[in-house]
Structure 1
């Protein structure tokens, strides 16, 4: 189909597409148009990666905006939200307004009113529904990317309920769902009352196979020789072969530690494949990586990048991951060793994909379990970039002839599993049932069950017995804890229930917070960090060998600082309580200005894990502050201070100074030691003192002074005050590594690696 023949889209679109080199639509895109995607019809597009799903979404949204509507694009990850906003921002040249929203669950997103296209995560959209965002009534089109993630136990129920609520709010809403090929696409299409485009067409060939011995065995029966040299493993041989053809490689492994180790090994292979210009550019990227955090992880990543290799996992800081992804897309980094997080839709295609590890540890079974076919096919779909690669190859690695046969049967020739709803799990229903009642979608048990009939779970389950049973259990729990009131068949959210729903809390988290705060008089930071860490909304650190004894002793030493009654050592939940204490101590270390590299070393985590824990603690402490106000508890000030200390990673005396944009924890400590203790001091500070405290960094000093409101922030002609000593002023080895007086500096310096922190 020629782009000029696409109906009901803005008149400028065909020329815009031609400028991007698109003269005609791919077959799946043409099929979507023929099924009415530009004329308001519902559609499920189950097509391979790189086959044009984003353009299908854009056609639906632009046609909707052309009809004076508003379009919403739902993504599973924050990183994808930013990526898609950048893609859609090109439409602003034609007068459209594009917005993105991913954070602050308490906001109704009022500023998004008037936007033509809005990009948001499913959790954010759910919170907008709970907070009654007025512009949701104007929605005419919703696109959900990676819709197969309704099968995910963590994110799936939120996406499923959110789609059901949006469709309930506006029965005329156009729903477009995008996915890789899945085993039951027809069932998803039936659920959404949608036409189905189910295609395996790709713009370039994807060849799947298994490497065994010295050969790559492909699904068509052909073989390619890839010999493994004496000093190599199979991935190294494949990477070397790919480099010889000027290609890049993604290597998927099953843990963070394996990703880092594989990148170190493969760096010796990639180093031989980079030229002098690339080496200089990689050195600049490595310097940016080191600037992100002063940690061993950051240094290891920078060292690998200098040689043309990298690793990628959720333990990296967000800026680390962005730098790696950009360098890989630009073909500067030749190989990335990743956990499956990189397969979740982020645009990082490569010539070859190597699935080195097809088993991973499963805590529920206590052993290694095979990955699903859908997950492996998602990884394989990263192979091949239209316009850059002549083909894509996806390779599994076998160590025996029997394994060679098994991998062909299990993955290469297999169809993906059907997607199954995870909504009936009690933790998922707990939060969504309260939100459904609080936001007015149901006001009775029967109305609640009627609403749930619009979910995929109801579509896939014959009879109501299981759903009714779990729903009744959840209603009883919510009523017992004061979140719901019941009168005959009627259900009403209490004021507390409305607050909990608005705060986007799991009701069990709210109950835990209130239980800990009710008897609190002068809560300490550690007590508050421990309180939020033992809620279901915080992913706790694991206890490793030797941890139980250490944290049991710490619990006795700091017993008076902790909130609520402690469980007995003989209770089953005592181990979880200690895990929360370990998590709380990490947060306390951060707020006591302990160096980031010491924290990563002490707890066996990555810089991304620290930031993830800090962000979750900020949100939960903000929620605790609201709940304390709801109950009129006189602890809001202590909670606020603990929250701000966690946000900036500083002790109490630096809270105000660190809040000045651009200052941060280390610079705040240096400025404080130089006699600049408040934003007012900074506003009127001697510039030579500021420049000295900031180690002569003129641009940084100018930006900070400007943000503080200094009357003349320019550093022209200013020299650092030589009387300001750098010694002990929060340098690269930190001023405050010793922690507070409550802490002992001789604590255990290392714990086993936290290789499984939820998101790989």
Structure 2
């Protein structure tokens, strides 16, 4: 089938596809077209990575837009949303407007109504439905990328409920679900009333195998010699073998620390394969990485990158991750050592994938637990890029014959597990039942159960009693906390319940926040940070060895600031959770006290991405707390707002006004303050030479800052920096010794 054979596309698109090199559709793509994907029919495409799933989605969306419809593309990750928007923007030449939305969970995203294709995370789509986005009922086509993630206990229920709601709002909605090969794709197709395209076809061959001794044994019975010398490890030998043929390698390990250590070691391998031009480009990239954040993690990453290797995990800043991914796609970086998060849809294919660690620590399991076959297959699917690689290889590592046999049985020859709905768990239903009532999708217990009958969970079980039992437990909780009111079988959300749903809060988080704020008229920042840190919506820091004593002492030292009664030390689990939340709160307090980012990452054993994640989550939860305090007419509104601003900007109280000027940030605000410029009003009147000196002679920066502060004439023409006005670079906040504060960290 050729592009010209595809019905319903905008004029010129088939010719454009041919210009892109698509002379003929891949077999799974042709099967999807034959199943009606370009005619508005729902399709589940369960095919391997790199087999053309995205084009299937584009055909559905473009044909839908051509029929005067509107399309939505749902992704699991924010990073993937940006990547897909950039990819879809090539259709703007054909009059198709593309928009992306990932943040601001309490917004209705009205501006997206003018877009033909909207890219968003499942959480954002859920929040848009809750906030009554007017364009949601105009949707004619919805694409769910990585739909097998309904199996994920964190993200899965949101995707599942969101698809059910969108289908309820838009009868006849075309749903295109894209998935890696899973064991029960037919069940997903049944749930979505969709045709199934189930294929194991790939444009280039992928061989899976196990390295043991001096060779890789593949699933097709072939072998490849990769000798490992005495005192040599398997991974460096396999990476060098790939480089000998000009290929790149992805190495999957089970922890951040292992990813960083492996990248450092493999840099010694990749460095020998770099050309002079690559060394120069990598040197520039390393400097760019160092500039992202003033942390040891940033320096370690830069050092590895300079040698052609990198690590990738959730502790990196978003900019770190995007720089690494781009350089790897361009084959400038030769190897990435990553935790499994990189396998979740981000486009980073390589010649060879090495799964070094096939076990991962699981607290509930009580030790190292083997990964699911589906997750391993997702990693292996990254091997082989059409147009660049003649083949793809995925290799697991065995140190003995017994392990070799186990890996073949468990992964190489095994089919991926069937995906299972995680909706019936109480934490998931707590959030989604309130939203379902508040959004008007159900107004009675029976109505709720009827709505839940449209979910994957209902498709997969004949036992309605468990879901009914959990539903009743959740409704009792929602009523007890004044989120819903019941009159017989009828259910209505209260004003508070509507607010909680629109704010995209877990009702248990809202209950914790409301209870805490009711007991304090003027809470301290630490008390508020601790309050939001102990909600289910915040992933708190773990207590490490020695932390219990440290934070027990801090707990009693500052107990008067904490909102709510401190659990007894003899209540082990509750007290441990209380201290873990306190540790998280102390990180936030340090950040809001202008403690250096490098000092924070070292003190708490986290990466810059973790700091940013905690800050963003705290800002969102404190914004929600401010709204709740205002709605309930509590006296803590001002304190909450100030704590929110301090954590948002990462500054002490006196810098809030300055740091709020776009382009200033925490470091520049401190320099301006030390130069005697204390408010945005001062910026409008200050001597320009003083401003220029405080901003280290950066004229363009100074002009932008002055313009953003509202200065009528921000020009720095003919202005010279006042040397005497340069602030003392050794300033340190009172809470830290100056030796820790040679320079203030920032996310500018």
Fold-level similarity (TM above 0.5)? yes
Normalising by structure 1, what TM-score? 0.96
Q: 1:754 maps to which residue?
A: none
Aligned ranges for residues 388-537 of structure 1 at < 5 Å? 388-537=388-537
The secondary structure found in structure 2 opposite 1:623 is helix
The secondary structure found in structure 2 opposite 1:350 is coil
Rounded Cα–Cα distance in structure 1 between residues aligned with 2:257 and 2:701: 35
Q: 2:160 maps to which residue?
A: 160
Alignment of 1:736 onto 2:732: yes
Rounded Cα–Cα distance in structure 1 between residues aligned with 2:96 and 2:9: 13
Q: 1:629 maps to which residue?
A: 630
Residue by residue, what CA displacement relative to the aligned partner does 1:551-589 show, whole Å, maximum 9, x if unpaired? 111111111111122222222311101111110000000
What is the deviation of 1:12? 1.5
What is the deviation of 1:53? 0.5
Contact 1:292 1:319 in 2 (8 A): yes
The secondary structure found in structure 2 opposite 1:723 is helix
Residue by residue, what CA displacement relative to the aligned partner does 1:352-407 show, whole Å, maximum 9, x if unpaired? 10000000000102100100000000000001111111111111111111111111
Rounded Cα–Cα distance in structure 1 between residues aligned with 2:453 and 2:291: 51
Q: Which runs of 5+ in 2 are unaligned?
A: 741-748
Alignment of 1:10 onto 2:10: yes
What is the deviation of 1:231? 5.1
Q: How many residues align?
A: 739
What is the deviation of 1:504? 0.5
Aligned ranges for residues 259-338 of structure 1 at < 5 Å? 259-338=259-338
Alignment of 1:681 onto 2:682: yes
Contact 1:592 1:736 in 2 (8 A): no
What is the deviation of 1:202? 0.5
What is the deviation of 1:701? 2.8
Rounded Cα–Cα distance in structure 2 between residues aligned with 1:698 and 1:271: 39
Rounded Cα–Cα distance in structure 2 between residues aligned with 1:746 and 1:321: 31
Q: 1:751 maps to which residue?
A: none
Aligned ranges for residues 20-59 of structure 1 at < 5 Å? 20-59=20-59
Q: 1:549 maps to which residue?
A: 549
Residue by residue, what CA displacement relative to the aligned partner does 1:240-299 show, whole Å, maximum 9, x if unpaired? 111111111000000000000000000000111111111111111111111111000000
Rounded Cα–Cα distance in structure 1 between residues aligned with 2:662 and 2:437: 40
Contact 1:529 1:588 in 2 (8 A): yes
RMSD: 1.4
What is the deviation of 1:17? 0.7
What is the deviation of 1:663? 1.3
Residue by residue, what CA displacement relative to the aligned partner does 1:144-191 show, whole Å, maximum 9, x if unpaired? 000000000000000000000000111110001000000000000000
Rounded Cα–Cα distance in structure 1 between residues aligned with 2:693 and 2:243: 47
Contact 1:595 1:737 in 2 (8 A): no
Q: 2:709 maps to which residue?
A: 708
What is the deviation of 1:746? 12
Kindly tell me: are residues 19 and 709 of structure 1, through their superposed partners in 2, closer, same or farther at Cα, counting changes over 3 Å?
farther
Contact 2:732 2:738 in 1 (8 A): no
What is the deviation of 1:745? 9.4
Q: 2:174 maps to which residue?
A: 174
Kindly tell me: are residues 374 and 459 of structure 1, through their superposed partners in 2, closer, same or farther at Cα, counting changes over 3 Å?
same
Kindly tell me: are residues 563 and 120 of structure 1, through their superposed partners in 2, closer, same or farther at Cα, counting changes over 3 Å?
same
The secondary structure found in structure 2 opposite 1:337 is strand
Contact 2:43 2:177 in 1 (8 A): yes
What is the deviation of 1:52? 0.4
Rounded Cα–Cα distance in structure 2 between residues aligned with 1:66 and 1:503: 35
Q: 1:757 maps to which residue?
A: none
Aligned ranges for residues 138-157 of structure 1 at < 5 Å? 138-157=138-157
Q: Which runs of 5+ in 1 are unaligned?
A: 730-734, 748-760
The secondary structure found in structure 1 opposite 2:208 is strand
Residue by residue, what CA displacement relative to the aligned partner does 1:289-331 show, whole Å, maximum 9, x if unpaired? 1111100000000111011000000000000100000111111
Contact 2:690 2:726 in 1 (8 A): no
What is the deviation of 1:636? 1.1
Alignment of 1:257 onto 2:260: no
Contact 2:674 2:728 in 1 (8 A): no
The secondary structure found in structure 1 opposite 2:114 is coil
What is the deviation of 1:691? 2.5
Rounded Cα–Cα distance in structure 1 between residues aligned with 2:272 and 2:605: 32
Kindly tell me: are residues 129 and 224 of structure 1, through their superposed partners in 2, closer, same or farther at Cα, counting changes over 3 Å?
same
What is the deviation of 1:703? 3.0
Q: 1:363 maps to which residue?
A: 363
The secondary structure found in structure 2 opposite 1:332 is coil
What is the deviation of 1:410? 0.9
What is the deviation of 1:682? 2.0
Q: 1:719 maps to which residue?
A: 720
Rounded Cα–Cα distance in structure 2 between residues aligned with 1:693 and 1:230: 58
What is the deviation of 1:713? 3.7
Rounded Cα–Cα distance in structure 1 between residues aligned with 2:283 and 2:676: 37
Residue by residue, what CA displacement relative to the aligned partner does 1:511-556 show, whole Å, maximum 9, x if unpaired? 0001000021111110100000010110110111111111111111
Rounded Cα–Cα distance in structure 2 between residues aligned with 1:615 and 1:245: 43
Contact 1:739 1:745 in 2 (8 A): no
The secondary structure found in structure 1 opposite 2:725 is coil
Q: 2:602 maps to which residue?
A: 601
Rounded Cα–Cα distance in structure 2 between residues aligned with 1:635 and 1:387: 60
What is the deviation of 1:688? 2.5
The secondary structure found in structure 2 opposite 1:197 is strand
Q: 1:753 maps to which residue?
A: none
Contact 1:654 1:672 in 2 (8 A): yes
Rounded Cα–Cα distance in structure 1 between residues aligned with 2:537 and 2:690: 44
Residue by residue, what CA displacement relative to the aligned partner does 1:643-663 show, whole Å, maximum 9, x if unpaired? 111111001111111111221
Contact 2:674 2:727 in 1 (8 A): no
Rounded Cα–Cα distance in structure 1 between residues aligned with 2:739 and 2:547: 15
The secondary structure found in structure 2 opposite 1:569 is coil
Residue by residue, what CA displacement relative to the aligned partner does 1:403-426 show, whole Å, maximum 9, x if unpaired? 111111111111000000000100
What is the deviation of 1:705? 2.9
Kindly tell me: are residues 667 and 139 of structure 1, through their superposed partners in 2, closer, same or farther at Cα, counting changes over 3 Å?
same
Larger displacement relative to structure 2 (585-594 or 10-19): 10-19
Rounded Cα–Cα distance in structure 1 between residues aligned with 2:12 and 2:120: 26
Larger displacement relative to structure 2 (47-56 or 713-722): 713-722
Q: 1:642 maps to which residue?
A: 643
What is the deviation of 1:699? 3.5
Rounded Cα–Cα distance in structure 2 between residues aligned with 1:317 and 1:739: 26
Larger displacement relative to structure 2 (208-217 or 297-306): 208-217
Larger displacement relative to structure 2 (141-150 or 454-463): 454-463
Q: 1:185 maps to which residue?
A: 185
Residue by residue, what CA displacement relative to the aligned partner does 1:92-120 show, whole Å, maximum 9, x if unpaired? 11211111000001001111112100000
Contact 2:10 2:94 in 1 (8 A): no
The secondary structure found in structure 2 opposite 1:37 is coil
Residue by residue, what CA displacement relative to the aligned partner does 1:2-58 show, whole Å, maximum 9, x if unpaired? 110101111211111122111111110000000000111010000000000000000
Rounded Cα–Cα distance in structure 1 between residues aligned with 2:154 and 2:73: 20
Aligned ranges for residues 70-81 of structure 1 at < 5 Å? 70-81=70-81
Rounded Cα–Cα distance in structure 1 between residues aligned with 2:205 and 2:685: 64
Rounded Cα–Cα distance in structure 2 between residues aligned with 1:446 and 1:644: 44
Rounded Cα–Cα distance in structure 2 between residues aligned with 1:220 and 1:738: 66
What is the deviation of 1:683? 2.8
Residue by residue, what CA displacement relative to the aligned partner does 1:618-646 show, whole Å, maximum 9, x if unpaired? 11000100110111012111111111111
Larger displacement relative to structure 2 (683-692 or 487-496): 683-692
